[in-house]
A and B are shown apart, each in its own frame.
Chain A
């Protein structure tokens, strides 16, 4: 039982890293970006390519996956996304679905439609067990690694958003673009870097998750709904909301698939609808926020 809980937490942490970039673009910049999963897929494929073709070590691939996805995100933000910010939500939905379709088809074209496998280094493959009987806690080392990385990232993000000058500039730009620009904040640069970091985090999540979630060209469509659930349920005004939502979702999904496999993902979706009807703005919402 503790093992399931632990796996759920690891899964949730992974979802959080994948989704937190989306929480920023969607919640802070008010842009519905359904193409977020495509950046995650790019990160995953960068890792696979580097490891299989160039034989790079896994740990080195992770920052490269982040950088690659962030670069792509930055370029796309500057060229394609920026004109979309002021458009109605329907346009944004169409635009980002279009991008997703393109990403899926071109990945299929270049990499083939088979599932990619990541060879983990030996020290991540083991498994530690604590306790005995029904309270046994089995921790895969890789899951432990994911939890550690994600926890560190969460703390860093929280620190940047809440304590640094950049964080307050971002929050100011989000609350009122015109006033922020009037105060001398370069809103475009703030948004550009935020979007790039968000995409980079997705790429990192994709690289980390390739082993757990599986990586093939349909990745963006398959996991889009999970990212969206995390953001919608968690609310978008802080990063603790999406974190708790991701953990809840991860645990519910793993436990549901373990205990009641017949129902599958049914539980997660029903839970989401129930929560959204109850609290349409998400579970954790800042009073007085936009």
Chain B
């Protein structure tokens, strides 16, 4: 067998997956930040978690083109799984995180059956419905989840048996950053693989992808499951570092916010989720300091302007006054 024609393809895939020089610098900065800005470790932790959540949504929205309004379902499931595991079984964070990932991955695999059929609208509704069902469940099963009061009294053990979670949040920040980096690397590897290339083919034209022999449904199921697992990890991190899980993790706001985060940063680009998380969290922090009650107004205004200007163009200010191509 002669596989010469495959070489250029392999070459281009390898080129795309090669590390750019600025990427390690970025990660070094991220890991230095809890030391440099030690009083802001809590918000760094939050940013890391939101970034990870956004990356998980990017896997299905940006790379596969599935619009989901209920991604908080997996986030919340991970959060409750981690919190319950710590409370009822054992307080070790890493085992708890593994449990959170496992539970949400299983749920994702089950839910992946629901996204196969129908149009954008149907998928929107089904994903939204899954999130709401889990919200209702967490609300009604109050003997297990604490209902509307949330699950309190989650005590985490020290990380790796050595590092205690402290009030300043530095351990938490490093924990989230490490988990985030590992999952980011896996996601990066995934989207630059031939598998990732087939996902983008499905996103661009599903019919064509089917015609050239890509098993569309199987691919969608796999990526949805992976994405659910990553979202569950983000939720688990949140529950573990705050020692609390409440109905808020399933809320519609979560799903809408994470989509906003991703869109602010740029869809279909893994760093987009990270950039969006930084921008969004800082914006939320500043705005809610100015107007504690009405900051959603500014978020809404921002969204409307963003879409009217064009998502692509907001990142490139020098194109604002040029006419859009017909």
Q: Is the interface of B mostly helix, strand, loop or mixed?
A: helix
Would you list the 9 A-B pairs with minimal beta carbon distance, nearest first? Answer: A280-B118, A98-B303, A101-B300, A105-B297, A102-B300, A98-B304, A95-B307, A280-B117, A232-B125
- Could you say which residues of chain A place their CB within 8 Å of the CB of B302? 98
Task: From the candidates A32, A97, A277, name the one contacting B114 in the complex (CB within 8 A).
Answer: A277
B51 at the interface (CB under 8 A from A): no
B55 at the interface (CB under 8 A from A): no
B296 at the interface (CB under 8 A from A): yes
- Could you say which residues of chain B place their CB within 8 Å of the CB of A228? 124-125, 128
User: Is B297 touching A106 in the complex (CB atoms < 8 A)?
Assistant: yes
- Could you say which residues of chain B place their CB within 8 Å of the CB of A101? 256, 296-297, 299-300, 303
Task: From the candidates A98, A100, A266, A281, name the one contacting B307 in the complex (CB within 8 A).
Answer: A98
Task: From the candidates A90, A225, A232, A264, name the one contacting B140 in the complex (CB within 8 A).
Answer: A264
How many A-B pairs with Cβ below 8 Å?
A: 131
B311 at the interface (CB under 8 A from A): yes
A72 at the interface (CB under 8 A from B): no
Q: Is the interface of A mostly helix, strand, loop or mixed?
A: helix
Q: Which of A67-82 contact B (CB under 8 A)?
A: 80
Task: From the candidates B129, B133, B297, B304, name the one contacting A109 in the complex (CB within 8 A).
Answer: B297
User: Is A265 touching B122 in the complex (CB atoms < 8 A)?
Assistant: no
User: Is A272 touching B125 in the complex (CB atoms < 8 A)?
Assistant: yes
- Could you say which residues of chain A place their CB within 8 Å of the CB of B209? none
User: Is B311 touching A265 in the complex (CB atoms < 8 A)?
Assistant: no
Task: From the candidates B113, B117, B307, name the one contacting A84 in the complex (CB within 8 A).
Answer: B307
User: Is A93 touching B137 in the complex (CB atoms < 8 A)?
Assistant: no
Q: Which chain B residue shows the least CB distance to A89?
A: B120
Q: Which of B130, B133, B259, B302 has the most CB of A within 10 A?
A: B133
Given contacts A106-B297, A281-B122, whether A97 and B256 have CB atoms under 8 Å apart is: yes
Interchain residue pairs with CB less than 8 A apart (17): A83-B308, A89-B120, A89-B124, A94-B303, A97-B259, A98-B306, A99-B304, A101-B296, A101-B300, A109-B293, A229-B125, A265-B132, A266-B140, A276-B118, A277-B113, A280-B122, A281-B119
Proximity bits, A250-270, B CB within 8 Å = 1, else 0: 000000000000111110011
Would you give the shortest CB distance from A123 to chain B, in whole angstroms? 38
B126 at the interface (CB under 8 A from A): yes
B290 at the interface (CB under 8 A from A): no
B101 at the interface (CB under 8 A from A): no
Q: Which chain A residue shows the least CB distance to B139?
A: A264
B260 at the interface (CB under 8 A from A): yes
B25 at the interface (CB under 8 A from A): no
Task: From the candidates B69, B113, B139, B299, name the one contacting A93 in the complex (CB within 8 A).
Answer: B69
Give the distance in Å from the alpha carbon of A281 to the alpha carbon of B123 in the complex.
Answer: 11
- Could you say which residues of chain B place their CB within 8 Å of the CB of A225? 128-129, 132
User: Is A87 touching B132 in the complex (CB atoms < 8 A)?
Assistant: no
Task: From the candidates B140, B260, B307, name the one contacting A263 in the complex (CB within 8 A).
Answer: B140
Task: From the candidates B61, B136, B307, name the one contacting A269 in the complex (CB within 8 A).
Answer: B136
- Could you say which residues of chain B place their CB within 8 Å of the CB of A176? none
B277 at the interface (CB under 8 A from A): no
Would you give the shortest CB distance from B312 to chain A, in whole angstroms? 11
Given contacts A95-B303, A102-B301, A109-B294, whether A32 and B308 have CB atoms under 8 Å apart is: no
Given contacts A221-B252, A264-B139, whether A280 and B296 have CB atoms under 8 Å apart is: no
User: Is A276 touching B125 in the complex (CB atoms < 8 A)?
Assistant: yes
Proximity bits, A95-117, B CB within 8 Å = 1, else 0: 10111111111101100000000
Give the distance in Å from the alpha carbon of A80 to the alpha carbon of B303 in the complex.
Answer: 13
**Chain B interface size, under 10 / 10 to 19 / 20 to 34 / 35 or more:** 35 or more
Would you give the shortest CB distance from A231 to chain B, in whole angstroms? 8
B160 at the interface (CB under 8 A from A): no
**B positions within 8 Å CB-CB of A:** 61, 67, 69, 113-114, 117-122, 124-126, 128-130, 132-133, 136-137, 139-140, 252, 256, 259-260, 263, 267, 293-297, 299-304, 306-308, 311
User: Is B260 touching A94 in the complex (CB atoms < 8 A)?
Assistant: yes
- Could you say which residues of chain B place their CB within 8 Å of the CB of A106? 294, 297
User: Is B140 touching A100 in the complex (CB atoms < 8 A)?
Assistant: no
Q: Which of A33-86 contact B (CB under 8 A)?
A: 80, 83-84
Give the distance in Å from the alpha carbon of A32 to the alpha carbon of B122 in the complex.
Answer: 11
User: Is B297 touching A32 in the complex (CB atoms < 8 A)?
Assistant: no
- Could you say which residues of chain A place their CB within 8 Å of the CB of B119? 280-281
- Could you say which residues of chain A place their CB within 8 Å of the CB of B295? 105
- Could you say which residues of chain A place their CB within 8 Å of the CB of B297? 101-102, 105-106, 109
Would you give the shortest CB distance from A85 to chain B, in whole angstroms? 13
Given contacts A264-B136, A270-B133, A272-B125, whether A94 and B307 have CB atoms under 8 Å apart is: yes
User: Is B118 touching A98 in the complex (CB atoms < 8 A)?
Assistant: no
User: Is B133 touching A269 in the complex (CB atoms < 8 A)?
Assistant: yes
Given contacts A90-B67, A101-B296, A269-B129, whether A32 and B124 have CB atoms under 8 Å apart is: yes
Would you give the shortest CB distance from A86 to chain B, in whole angstroms? 11
Q: Which chain A residue shows the least CB distance to B307?
A: A95
Further pairs besides A94-B259, A101-B299, A265-B136: 14, Cβ < 8 Å: A87-B307, A90-B267, A97-B256, A97-B303, A101-B303, A105-B296, A105-B297, A229-B125, A231-B121, A264-B136, A273-B114, A276-B118, A276-B122, A277-B126
A175 at the interface (CB under 8 A from B): no
User: Is A99 touching B300 in the complex (CB atoms < 8 A)?
Assistant: yes
Give the distance in Å from the alpha carbon of A87 to the alpha carbon of B299 in the complex.
Answer: 21
Give the distance in Å from the alpha carbon of A31 to the alpha carbon of B67 in the complex.
Answer: 14
Q: Which chain B residue shows the least CB distance to A228?
A: B125
Proximity bits, A216-256, B CB within 8 Å = 1, else 0: 00000100010011011000000000000000000000000
A26 at the interface (CB under 8 A from B): yes
Give the distance in Å from the alpha carbon of A80 to the alpha carbon of B305 in the complex.
Answer: 10
